[in-house]
Structure 1
Amino acid sequence: MQVAEQHAKDGHQVLPFETQAAFEEWLENHHETVSALWLKLAKRGNPVSSVTYADAVDAALCFGWVDGQTLRWDDDWYLQRFSPRKARSIWSKINVDKAEALVAAGRMRPSGLAAIERAKAAGYWDAAYEGSASIEVPEDLQAFLDAHPEAAEFFASLSSQNRYALLFRLKTAVRPATRKNRFDKFTAMLLAGETFYP
């Protein structure tokens, strides 16, 4: 609770909303003038209802906002930070799919559409990353692993956290030079038996 209270004092409001419509109304009035918000969300079992996390993410995407850090508030509530998406913000495949559905449903607002256009122009839309359960090994890395059995054996032994860290960093490299540098570094790490996390 202390950490959440500290963040509540950083100039950003902590607000609860009972419904998605109430959160959307707040975003309509404040999405261009507020730099962040701590949304107070009810935990399961809380007798007081609030907008759900999923509905809050949809509302935020409509206005070009994105969810961020999560903090514990108390036994009944937690905080989810929402803020305007930065121009160089990477997109998850989940949010790309949600945004496309919101566009198709006619719910996306001009600021949300602008965030999508910025992402497309910068290459972040097409480079959207997959979640840890569905991310796949890229062809060039698979070819490397096939050619280096010792690296393949080490890769197979990685924890899910280390495996995703490597694949995520490869997937989110937008520029070819960045991706090549990462590929070279990560394949050297695999050959040396090194990981990102202990």
Structure 2
Amino acid sequence: MNQINTIPTLEFKTQNKFENWLKKNHENSIGIWLRIFKKDTGLKSISYSEALDVALCYGWIDSQKQKFDEQSWLQKFSPRTAKSIWSKVNTGHVERLINEGKMKSPGLIAVEKAKADGRWDKAYDSPTKMIIPNDFLLELSKNKNAEDFFKKLNKTNLFSIGFRIHTAKKTETRDKRIKEIIEKLAKGENI
């Protein structure tokens, strides 16, 4: 079954309407596809940034984006899990929302859990700020073919490398990922 069909597709004209829905459903829903209309359509719709703010306040997060039609797209929102990773962009949004007094109890609980188990401090950078770790670059320098191919990668592939390394929870996992990435690069394969 197509994943889009397993959770409801909803649309909200305002941030307040989405917040009212989340207030009632944040604990019981597995998630939604939120239909967001493009600005140039003239159709009233919650914006992505408005929806993200509300979702974070209730301990939810955005994930996949899907094309819907020429006027709109779908953005998946769902409750954070105990293993949900955090981006630095979203930790920044949460800090702003806390300062503005907008965070709700479910969102604050998600933040406290992330701080307690270390996920908050391990938040990953956005694609424009992702830095390739030095330990990876050191290992890469030992393989000329991989290093040459690495130099030709686009920003998307560089982010993918940094993300995979940065999000490893254990040292063994990190080392294994570095080795696997270098092996792929040596074969001329994108990440």
| TM-score (norm: length of structure 2) | 0.88
SS at match of 1:27: helix
- Residue 90 of structure 1 corresponds to 85
Aligned match of 2:39 in 38, 44, 60? Answer: 44
- Residue 111 of structure 1 corresponds to 106
TM-aligned CA deviation for residue 30 of structure 1 = 0.9
**Per-residue deviation, residues 74-95 of structure 1 (Å, max 9, x unmatched):** 2222221111011101111111
Q: 5 Å matches for 1:1-198?
A: 7=4, 9-10=5-6, 12-146=7-141, 150-190=145-185, 192-197=186-191
Partners in 1 of 2:55 and 2:86 — Cα distance? 14
Cα distance change, pair 189–71 in 1 and its aligned pair in 2 (3 A): closer
Specify the code of the residue in structure 1 equivalent to 2:66.
Answer: L
Cα distance change, pair 120–175 in 1 and its aligned pair in 2 (3 A): farther
Specify the code of the residue in structure 1 equivalent to 2:86.
Answer: W
Q: Runs ≥4 in structure 1, deviation > 6 angstroms?
A: none
Cα distance change, pair 194–122 in 1 and its aligned pair in 2 (3 A): farther
TM-aligned CA deviation for residue 153 of structure 1 = 2.6
Tell whether the 8 Å contact from 1:42 to 1:48 is kept in structure 2 after alignment: yes
* CA RMSD, Structure 1 to Structure 2 (Å): 2.1
Partners in 2 of 1:145 and 1:81 — Cα distance? 36
Q: Identity over aligned residues, as a percent?
A: 38
Partners in 2 of 1:144 and 1:67 — Cα distance? 34
Tell whether the 8 Å contact from 1:123 to 1:174 is kept in structure 2 after alignment: no
Tell whether the 8 Å contact from 1:162 to 1:195 is kept in structure 2 after alignment: no
SS at match of 1:157: coil
| TM-score (norm: length of structure 1) | 0.85
Q: Where does the alignment leave 5 or more consecutive residues of structure 2 unmatched?
A: none
Cα distance change, pair 51–178 in 1 and its aligned pair in 2 (3 A): same
Partners in 1 of 2:116 and 2:30 — Cα distance? 23
TM-aligned CA deviation for residue 149 of structure 1 = 5.2
**Per-residue deviation, residues 111-168 of structure 1 (Å, max 9, x unmatched):** 1111112222332212211122211121222333455555433211123332222111
SS at match of 1:40: strand
Tell whether the 8 Å contact from 2:64 to 2:75 is kept in structure 1 after alignment: yes
SS at match of 2:86: coil
Partners in 2 of 1:196 and 1:142 — Cα distance? 16
